[in-house]
Structure 1
């Protein structure tokens, strides 16, 4: 059964950047300016209260919320600005009064834009938000970067429970009996853990956050599988992309080619990847030389002692990476595969006995989305790139695109079943 989502945002651009998260997953969604236009189906309601005074925003929200047909929607999300501008406390309080949730969950981080919450403090590109230009906004400056303060202002006589990164990342993380909760989040994996813990309560949740929380919620709702990457490129561009992906919670399986050559075993690397997948994490299989420049020199030096030429080392690298990838894919399902390095991509297709690939789209300049034709992985969606292509966030972005395509397929199947 498909869910209908109601997202309540305080400005038009915020409405759009959150609504598009549903559209990316194949969910039809409208942005409406009037509560009178609310019908069945997923909707973003733009209240245009971002720059109002607190008193005016409260009056507007009360009028709007009293008219909402709450029974039409299975999930309600309060979209807030990722830098904490606006009348957040007043709007959460009003929304809670009308929606009557069991839990108010406040997780405003947007890791894809380097907006994180650490120890309860919102940081923008590593700097406390109160020390950025957002605190000097001429129309609506932020008044605090402490997420617990905003919840305490909304619910002054209630206990506020804040969950740190250490708690969120602990095995078996739960929120217990808490009703008013805020959460640290440094990467998308943290937001996923938050959503999973809240879902397990079985309670009615008011989700409060930026588009990052909405994406995590949707991915969990659609049971989207993690994504896999295969990296053989040793370019500096790829190296930066790997470090950014790691900082976003992606698990990197570091594969020293010289060790595989000596031990003749793929097992430790396959097991490591499968363990990360079991935690719901995206995974990158990579040569150690892709992650660290010194490893490239070490690989060449060690393997040269075994009389392997540069060409043979390259062939060995592609065989090892493709072989490990094949064994992983024989054990688990993924939303898709990202491959960096033309020879690495060709090696994967060759070992999977593919006859070719169908070009579906271009997700970024020079970055195609393909579908494997025939062979062991027929139908799998694959994004490929040359080693030196793409922005520093490309791997994270590519994973998101693969998951969006995967979710659209799930959506289509579910719609047919309905």
Structure 2
């Protein structure tokens, strides 16, 4: 029986939250099937993470999806529910927190948006990324979903009539009036203090990002023997579906260090007919040779630095930003599937939740097992496809230091993660 259900707004977020429990020994599964049977005995699961993919939906549709999932879980007797939100406050947070409250029939909901390990903190109700108010950070410039408000209460108020109650760390022991309770947190110690202050009963229904999930496992006694890491295949194949400047910098740094890199042109990443063409088959053969020779490879949806080929294509074909996002994710996923079907044997690294979701859908894979973090927010997982087990590393676009890809390649080549 599932003890904790986590409803995540995107795939990479589902994995970096679920892995917090898996690393502590809880039986954890990440699924894309929102009709998953909470009573199934096929796989013993303590923590179930459902990928709701609500980030790009309308607020109303996001509400309905979270409400229906949470209501079904409550009726099935799942004891704890956690609404996983984005650590940069992207998505339909206000409507989704309201949906959880309505489904659980509660009038208070703790919300802890901070993730101190990656320098995302909440101070006096303002959310900061690397010391910069989130609306002024790179997330405020996102081409698909820019953050317009740094004040958490102001952001939530755009989508919910529920009162917002702010809690400074100087106000411990404060009684919780009705509403969404937004807690400041600047350190991991703050997260632990909040969890102890609220206790298991106060956290039956709660919300936040992967940051607060790190303390929930211990508090809710969702622990066990640490999972054993499998043997990773040494070649590292990177599928970059993120346009975040953090990821682009990582790709540029890796290329300068000698990683072969292919930037897909607009036809390759936006026209499905190309994926099914002989030209694509030939390109895949060439990429496979490069992977074998170099033991690392980047397939990137971003334009080469200094060019605007995609912007020109979008204007010429009058594509909306949503059409652009979906087409790129689907084409990159279709190319990755063809690579695997062609015999690619490598550790995959996937950046961006849209890309990961599209890849799983293309392969008709509905479940992944998170294993361990290789760095903060960088998650090792395993999944089965056509009778083979594959190992994958995932991260969201805004996660990681500049030299992350180089360090991951070193870990694989040194067999540091072969056990």
TM-score after normalising by structure 1: 0.48
Structure number with the bigger relative contact order (C-alpha 8 A, sep ≥ 6) is 2
Question: Which structure: greater helix fraction?
Answer: 1
TM-score after normalising by structure 2: 0.48
